[in-house]
Amino acid sequence: MNVRNRFPIFRSKVYMNSCSQGALSVDVRRAYEDYMCDLEQRGSPWELWVQKNEAVRNAFATLVNAGAGEVAVETSTSAAISSVASALDFSGPRNKVVVSDFEFPTAGQIWHAQEARGAKITHVPAAGNIIPLERFEEAIDERTKLVQITHVCYRNGSKLDVKAITEIAHRKGALVLVDAYQSLGTTPIDVKAWNVDFLAGGVLKYLLASPGLAFLYARKDLISTLNPTNVGWFAQANIFAMDIYAHAPAPTARRFESGTPPVPNLYAGLAGMKLLQSVGVDRIEAHVSEITGAIKEGAMRRGFNVVTPIEPSKHGAMIALRSHMDHMLVKRLEEDNIILSCRDNNLRISPHFYNNLEDVDRLMDGLTKHKDLLV
């Protein structure tokens, strides 16, 4: 794609670590400079920053086909999930939370923290590199209050069938919270088509910005029934009321927000999402599919152990290869100017729309050079 020259890192390196951090664009760098200029020239332009916060809310809502009133601006997915957890009552018979074994640690940790409030946590185990639907069918029952699932697993790139799992959960009266951090920006996401209750994600990875800015989608008809206790002044109906004598939650998903938003990150997040949308998520999905297909083909031809599901519909924008010395392999590849990451004895290769087939060729050369570190 013709936007590659907007990412200076490609002048010297092969960068395929978008599952950890999206590559820095000139657009995002300029956005941070714009923040510094506003700070220097205008001092404390809070009306402007509140407008930026609303622009970010609208941009994310558009990205997932939600209404702006269904989106809370958060500082992390941890904050988003914690806000939902704080709104749930675990004192009754429906006190069970079902958590897939593909979750990022923060999700499991937050729900286990609710055990002190009466929650009972059940994990859905994997079967190799997938979690069969029937395991969700077995785990979710009439005592289940919420099901926590990731769209794409951060360890191996495996993709869960969100719509099918949601149908199972709703049939049994449970809510569903989806962590879409590892898929946002690489594939079209439609919260209405999925019929999910909550969706969390952030801008750090494929949305091309930086840490400190995330989002929570909450289904419109649920919002008025939930009253988070993990709140702050931006969760109020009137954020400038400055009332210390009462809590008046916003009627929209803003009630899931907390304190002062991460203002510099608003600038960066807007720039990253604008660049992404200028390319188009449909085009990005097709391009990433081509690149991940070439990675799988090249890896299998060389005898490397691909631990990601091979079928394209079963994985996201990450291909994982087994490595018995994964940290050493990442270090050796970095010395060769190839930037990747690892988790759980897996080398993680995560391209985006800025990668091309020449990057794949250089990657395969690097992997072949260090094949003694692969299994």
pLDDT tens, 110-141? 999 999 999 999 999 999 999 999 999 999 99
- Taking only the tens place, the pLDDT of each residue in 35-52 is 999 999 999 999 999 999
Write down the pLDDT at residue 68.
98
Indicate which CATH number applies to the domain containing 355. Answer: 3.90.1150.10
Helix %, strand %, coil % of the chain (to 5): 45, 20, 40
Q: Is 253 helix (H, G, I), strand (E, B) or coil?
A: helix
Residues 178 and 220 in one domain: yes
DSSP string, 325-349: THHHHHHHHHHTTEE-EEETTEEEE
In 3D, which of 223, 56, 17, 22 has the Cα closest to residue 6?
22
Residues 215 and 253 in one domain: yes
Residues 240 and 115 in one domain: yes
Residues 303 and 316 in one domain: yes
Number of domains making up the chain: 2
State the residue range of the domain holding 57: 28-276
Domain end (from 259, 276, 293): 276
Q: Rounded to whole angstroms, how far apart are CA atoms 297 and 305?
A: 11
Domain end (from 276, 301, 332): 276
CB atoms near residue 2 (< 10 Å): 6
Cα-based torsion angle of the residue sequence 121, 125, 130, 132 in order, rounded to the nearest 10 degrees = -80
Residues 15 and 136 in one domain: no
Token pair in block for residue 190: 């439609």
Residues 242 and 328 in one domain: no
- The pTM score is 0.97
Largest CA distance in the chain: 67
Indicate which CATH number applies to the domain containing 231. Answer: 3.40.640.10
Residues 213 and 139 in one domain: yes
Residues 230 and 110 in one domain: yes
Write down the pLDDT at residue 1.
66
User: Which DSSP symbol is given to 184?
Assistant: B
Residues 82 and 210 in one domain: yes
- Tell me if 195 sits within 8 A of 186, measured CB to CB: no
- Taking only the tens place, the pLDDT of each residue in 275-331 is 999 999 999 999 999 999 999 999 999 999 999 999 999 999 999 999 999 999 999
Residues 91 and 184 in one domain: yes
Residues 79 and 20 in one domain: no
Residues 314 and 256 in one domain: no
